[in-house]
Amino acid sequence: MRMWTYVVRRLFLLIPVIIGVMTILFILVSAVPIPERLLSVYGANRIGYNPTVPCSELTRNLSTPGNCTNPYYTRGVQDLGLNKPVPVQWGVFMLDSLTFQWGYVDNHSFVGTQFTLLAAEPVTTVLSWFLPYTIELALLSLLIIVVVSIPLGNLSAVYRNRPIDQGSRVMSFSGYALPAFLLGTLVLMAVVLAIGPLTHWASLTCKGTTIFTDFYGSWPQAGCYPGTATYPTWLSAGQVSYPTHFPTVDAAVHGDWGIAGDTLLRMVIPALVIAYGTIAVILRFVRNSMLEVLNLDFVRTARAKGLPESQVIRRHAGRNSLNVTVTVLGLSFAFFLGGFPVIETVFGLWGVGRMLAYSILVPYDYGLIFGSTLLFTYLVVFANIIVDIIYAYLDPRVRLG
Amino acid sequence: MAAGETAEASPAVTETPVRRGRRPSPRIAQWIRTWYFFRRNTLAMLGLIVLLLMLALAIYAFAYPAPYDGLTQLCATNGGTNPAPGCLCTYPVGTAPPGPNCYQTPADFPSVIAPTFTLSPLAGGPLPLGSLTVTPGTPYFFNLYAGMVRGVDWTLMISVGIVITGALAGLLIGAVAGYYGGWVDETLMRLVDIFLSVPQILLVIIMVAVLANLPEFTSFVARIELLILAFVITWWPFYARIVRGQVLVTREQKYVEAAQANGASRARIIVRHIIPNSVYPVLVQMSLDVGTIPLLIGALVFLGFHLFPTPYFPEWGSLAALSVTNLTAFLTTCQLPSGCIIPWWQFFFPGFGVFMYAISVNFLSDGLRDALDPRLRR
């Protein structure tokens, strides 16, 4: 099979997966009470919906819509097709999901009441404000993981069951087995105790003057900027940074290298904690694939023809064991883009994971929850395809067999 | 199976000539061999010992339930002149305190109670592992000892329940898909792909958030069942994929062919031959996942997600999460570094418990994999 045939075939296989995922989400969204669903689909401001009017007491029984006098309710029900057959509703849901119309932030939910700037904004807009910070954080953590895990994994495969193997296994597993919230809090405590309550610029986390309050209290500065009272013009209050929403990139674009460096510096400790927590999984894959390659015939041949051991490991075995590693790294990057709800909450970072963490607080924001799920699903599916194609490129047996 | 009966089988099987007449069946022999290799892995053995200790604690907790485990009743609400074991009590003004941990009014209760180690923790007296403040600044306590002892039950039950149910479902579906092949395989594997595309933890969140609205899931037991159900629905695809991969290898073996030639039905072949011989990789993954579940549950509780029917559910992961929340609140009010005591016991005991559980299960699964996979043995 040629490469492009493989790609096309892989893309066709995508269709049933997308349809299936949408169906699962559609079943779940159908179980949401209708008033809440209307709120998250249309946004309270836009439909003039007030939960205190009798409509909120409507049951989910649509055949008798009750004594609802709110015209927006009936219009919402009609627009969603809730009085139509289920396949029509499913179609509407599919269309909306595929065209990125994921509804609005409900302004009676926890997010809506806590962050008035976010209330009644489209979910896609909100996610696009907070995703860039998470992407930067994910890239940084992935960099740390790659730098540590590939050499360490190869070493522990070569020196199997020796002290270096056992030691790296214990270290990486202990990071994996510690709850992230506990590890993060302890690290934060240690950092604060170590450097003391210094100025904002010297502080290494996004926390403010007192240890456990957020950096300058609240949003709007998605990302983590030094809390001076006057923001630069490109960072005006009420907006996320301009123009790309990537905090570091934006600062660099506007020539404010101080802020760029500071933002990056504050990401380092959370990224280290993330890397420590996830390195065990990657390390295990690197080690095992290296072990398998080391048993193969071509390695024996390389040794037999008298190559020095270092060259055998680096040139022959190391390169060939990288296929699996690339796959795992790609998939974990997609997983990382799902945000780090716990780490971002502990360290006070404003990423997409933290928004998700807020949206599951008790007046749930269904729009944001389902929107994040759609976003992360798209990311995972997309990453799967990319990784498969890269793997097929690296290992011709996949596309030939 | 042929490999199981060769002369190079484990010494434990072949060395004793007395037993030569009744050699154990190949499958038992394989388990004996696995145990022989597993035993030599120190870390895995350590993990096994920790797990057995936890199991013993769970049986102990089942036989001697800790009083006031915080499941339905907070310890300090048991105020009265008669102090319950390990709880706080109140007594009337002008009388002598009837026991340790007794105060005149609930307002006199200290905000945190440090652990005091006594030889008989269940006897009355001080709180053995200290307390977990329910709401910082209010005189309500969670008896940490009782919560920990009660929690080992819930921790093991929830995580093992989820993993076993998920593995059974995955085993069945994966075996059917792998053995039948063709359109059955295609359909089931697309289904697996679909479930694997949605981020697992998000699917759990959505299911709990949405389905908890329904009247069917309001009772206590039903809520726990919903939690287990949500995890199982998101976890079976992993097992199904692993099993299918293994079944593709197993179904080409000679003994399957022999069974087919004997005229065994498909169901019999799957149940008696395919599944028992494809179960090993699933065992490894299962033992790995069992340790991850308390961590995930703890993370959800830490984020404030209303996962359990009561806010103070004695499960180790969620106890650790609550303690960290308390620690944060405590440190905020206490103005470090002015020198207040950090209540380390609050996060140490549940955190260490979860950590030990997860890490020993990890080592166990590592050792199991090395022992089961002949290529990795040497």
Please give the average per-residue pLDDT across B83-101, as a whole number. 70
| pLDDT confidence of residue A66 | 52
Tell whether B329 is covered by a domain. yes
Give a yes or no: residue B50 inside a domain. Answer: no
B164 pLDDT above the threshold of 90? yes
Instruction: Verify whether the Cβ–Cβ distance B351 to A182 is below 8 Å.
Output: yes
- Which residues on adjacent β-strands are paired with residue B133? B141
pTM of the model: 0.84
Any B CB within 8 A of A331 CB: no
Q: Which residue among A169, A213, A345 sits closest to B303, beta carbon to beta carbon?
A: A345
ipTM score of complex: 0.85
CATH code assigned at B182: 1.10.3720.10
Q: What is the pLDDT of residue A63?
A: 40
Convert A310-356 into a string of H (helix), E (strand) and C (coil): HHHHHHHHHHHHHHHHHHHHHHHHHHHHCCCHHHHHHHCCCCHHHHH
Pairing of β B131-133 and β B141-143: antiparallel
Q: Is residue B140 part of a domain?
A: no
| Mean pLDDT for chain B overall | 79
The verdict on a CB contact (< 8 Å) between B302 and A342 is yes
Section B129-153 average pLDDT:
71
Q: What confidence tens digit (pLDDT) does each residue in A357-388 have?
A: 999 988 888 889 999 999 999 998 988 888 88
Radius of gyration of chain A (CA): 25
**Range in A167-176, B236-245, B296-305, B334-343 with the lowest mean pLDDT:** B334-343
Q: Model confidence over A1-28: pLDDT tens digits?
A: 678 888 898 888 889 899 999 999 999 9
Instruction: Report pLDDT for A70.
Output: 60
Contact (CB<8Å) B331/A16: no
The highest-confidence range among A145-149, A190-194, A242-246, B103-107, by mean pLDDT, is A145-149
Task: Report the domain count for chain B.
Answer: 1
So what's the pLDDT on residue A149? 92
B123: in domain = no
d(CA A238, CA A82): 36
Q: Would the CB atoms of B299 and A357 count as touching at under 8 Å?
A: no
> Residue A223 — pLDDT band, cuts 50, 70, 90?
low
Q: Evaluate whether residue B301 is within a structural domain.
A: yes
Mutate to test the interface with B, among A173, A189, A210 (most CBs of B within 10 A): A173
- Option in B199, B320, B336 nearest A179 (CB): B320
Question: What's the pLDDT at B14?
Answer: 45
List A residues 41-100 in contact with B (Cβ-Cβ < 8 A): none
Q: Classify residue B77: in a domain, yes or no.
A: no
CB A391 within 8 A of CB A323: yes
Closest chain B CA to residue A364: B209
B24: preceding bond cis by omega (within 30 degrees): no
What is the tens place of the pLDDT at every residue in A327-339? 888 888 888 888 8
**Residue B124 to residues A383, B96, B143: CA-CA distances in angstroms?**
58, 17, 12
A242 or B38, which is more confident?
A: B38
d(CA B242, CA B245): 5
pLDDT tens by residue, B240-264: 999 998 898 888 888 889 999 998 9
Which residues in chain A have their CB less than 8 angstroms from residue B203's CB? Answer: 24, 373
- A212, B328: Cβ pair inside 8 Å? yes
Region of poorest pLDDT, from A84-93, A231-240, A373-382: A231-240
Q: Give the domain extent around B161.
A: 152-376
What pLDDT, on a 0 to 100 scale, did the predictor assign at position A173? 87
Is B207 inside a domain boundary?
yes
Kindly report the nearest CA distance between residue A160 and chain B, in angstroms: 10
Which residues in chain A have Cβ-Cβ distances shorter than 8 Å to B210? 28-29, 31-32, 366
Contact (CB<8Å) B209/A166:
no
Is any Cβ of chain B less than 8 angstroms from the Cβ of A26? Answer: no
Nearest-angstrom CA–CA distance, B369 and B281: 7
In this structure, are strands B102-103 and B131-133 parallel, antiparallel, or unpaired? unpaired
Question: Which of A182, A288, A293 is most worth mutating to test chain B (most B CB atoms within 10 A of its CB)?
Answer: A182
B137 assigned to some structural domain: no
Nearest CA distance, A308 vs chain B (angstrom): 24
